[in-house]
Copies of this chain bind each other. A is one copy, B any other.
Amino acid sequence: MSSPSYRPIGPVVGMIGAGQLARMTQQPAIALGIELRVLAGSLDDSAARVVVDTRVGDHRSSADLLDFAQGCDAITFDHEHVPTELVRELADAGHSVHPGADALVHAQDKAVMRERLTAIGVPCPPWARVDTPADAERFAAEHGLPIVLKAVRGGYDGRGVWVCRTPADVADAFSAGIPLLAEGFVPFKRELAVLVARSPHGQGVSYPVVETVQEDGICVEVLAPAPGLDGEDAAQAQRIALKIAHELGVTGLLAVEMFETEDGLVVNELAMRPHNSGHWTIEGARTSQFEQHLRAVLDLPLGSPSLTAPHVVMVNLLGGDDPDLFKRYEHVMAHDPGVKVHFYGKEVRPGRKIGHVTAYGADLDDVRARARHAAVYLTTGEYT
């Protein structure tokens, strides 16, 4: 562990992990005079490049975590990969950890999440723990094909998810040799996400419900607010998310991914940190999700989640074959002086989330076309 000599003036928030979420958290930390410290795996990590108080260490090491936490007013996370028992150990050592282990485990363990959501009456797909291919076959016989097998722990961005139509698909999923959960396939109209924040003193706020567009399990586009969503459905989605935050004792941000179906809303996934479905808030809401998370983990009053424009669209930048994005800034900025470009300072690799663009305005079709044009041009050089 490196330990730079750094004398803080403001409150210190320690974020475990140093990816793009920590990087974007540094922007409101700068504004508020909050001292962000990150635990990076390497000095090349996205956030390590912009956070002076970067410590290099292992998020699976109890010693590294306890060392990192010394002097922090709050501890929080850039990812879900810190083992639950080490999160608990930090709190037991007297640190203010947000979310705490008892909440966070629901974002780490999909079986625990499903059990708890079912118990509190939140709509879920049919689900079961499955230990063997035979368990999965029985689940399929009961609920119909296809079924979805998911890694109980550790999946993200489409990894650790198998949509199974045949016994061969099921065998393939089990060949990974990890604990699996079976879920019924939800025939959804579209995917929605609700981002809420909850502070230790119990204040909660919800951002407007958004529509997320996924390709190959990766979020590619977010439309805020979700176009054409009925007001009562939107309120219901927000109530579900706030209820989960309250019942699970979440502190900080909670992103709830949902399916919109003919029969109502079904909860898909939870995340307890700033979330890709909330990147639009940097320009599109009065309080960005990153500022909101800082406020929440420090138990400060939460900020306004109001929209700054009628429509906001965010499109992810997924790395292509060309490592040099910067040469394309010229066209994108000249073509549209209002589009906002975000680049995470990561080496460009095919398929990697390397940035995003945001457009906002009064006309959804126009805003969406602007965001897409910028994203396609930046990543491929193609003029669409």
Indicate whether A343 sits within 8 Å of B301 (C-beta atoms), given known contacts A10-B326, A26-B50.
Answer: no
Q: Which of B11, B30, B343 contacts A24 (CB 8 A)?
A: B30
Q: Which of B33, B330, B342 contacts A355 (CB 8 A)?
A: B33
Do B306 and A341 touch across chains, with their CB atoms under 8 A apart?
no
- Chain B contacts of A303 at CB under 8 A? 333, 337-338
A11-46 Cβ-contact flags toward B at 8 Å (1 or 0):
100000000000110110111110100000000100
Do A33 and B337 touch across chains, with their CB atoms under 8 A apart?
no
- Chain B contacts of A308 at CB under 8 A? 308-309
Q: Which of B52, B337, B345 contacts A50 (CB 8 A)?
A: B52
CA distance A33 to B338 in the complex (A): 18
Do A301 and B10 touch across chains, with their CB atoms under 8 A apart?
no
CB distance from A71 to the nearest CB of B (A): 15
Q: Is A168 an interface residue (CB 8 A)?
A: no
Q: Which of B10, B334, B346 contacts A9 (CB 8 A)?
A: B346
Q: Which of B48, B302, B337, B343 contacts A337 (CB 8 A)?
A: B302
Q: Is A366 an interface residue (CB 8 A)?
A: no
Q: Is A54 an interface residue (CB 8 A)?
A: yes
Indicate whether A347 sits within 8 Å of B31 (C-beta atoms), given known contacts A303-B333, A304-B337, A304-B338.
Answer: no
Q: Which residue of B lies closest to A309 (CB)?
A: B308
Q: Can you list 8 A-B pairs, Cβ within 8 angstroms, ordered by A?
A: A9-B49, A9-B347, A24-B30, A26-B50, A27-B30, A31-B282, A35-B49, A52-B52
| Interface members, chain A 327-382 (any B CB < 8 Å) | 329-330, 333-334, 337-338, 340-347, 355
The 5 closest A-B pairs by CB, nearest first: A33-B343, A301-B334, A301-B333, A304-B337, A304-B338
Indicate whether A23 sits within 8 Å of B27 (C-beta atoms), given known contacts A287-B337, A301-B337.
Answer: no
Do A333 and B295 touch across chains, with their CB atoms under 8 A apart?
yes
- Chain B contacts of A333 at CB under 8 A? 295, 300-303
Do B31 and A343 touch across chains, with their CB atoms under 8 A apart?
yes
- Chain B contacts of A30 at CB under 8 A? 23-24, 26-27, 50, 345
Q: Is A286 an interface residue (CB 8 A)?
A: yes
- Which A residues contact B (CB, under 8 angstroms)? 6-7, 9-11, 23-24, 26-27, 29-33, 35, 44, 48-52, 54, 282, 286-287, 295, 300-304, 306, 308-309, 325-326, 329-330, 333-334, 337-338, 340-347, 355
- Chain B contacts of A23 at CB under 8 A? 30
- Chain B contacts of A344 at CB under 8 A? 33
Q: Which residue of B lies closest to A331 (CB)?
A: B301
Do B32 and A341 touch across chains, with their CB atoms under 8 A apart?
yes
CB distance from A122 to the nearest CB of B (A): 27
CA distance A355 to B30 in the complex (A): 11
Known contacts A48-B52, A49-B52; can you find 11 more A-B pairs with CB under 8 A?
A9-B49, A10-B343, A23-B30, A27-B27, A31-B282, A31-B343, A32-B329, A33-B325, A33-B344, A52-B54, A301-B333
CA distance A27 to B283 in the complex (A): 13
CB distance from A248 to the nearest CB of B (A): 24
Do A33 and B304 touch across chains, with their CB atoms under 8 A apart?
no
CB distance from A329 to the nearest CB of B (A): 6
- Chain B contacts of A326 at CB under 8 A? 10-11, 33
CA distance A355 to B50 in the complex (A): 21
CB distance from A115 to the nearest CB of B (A): 35
- Chain B contacts of A355 at CB under 8 A? 33
- Chain B contacts of A32 at CB under 8 A? 329, 341-343
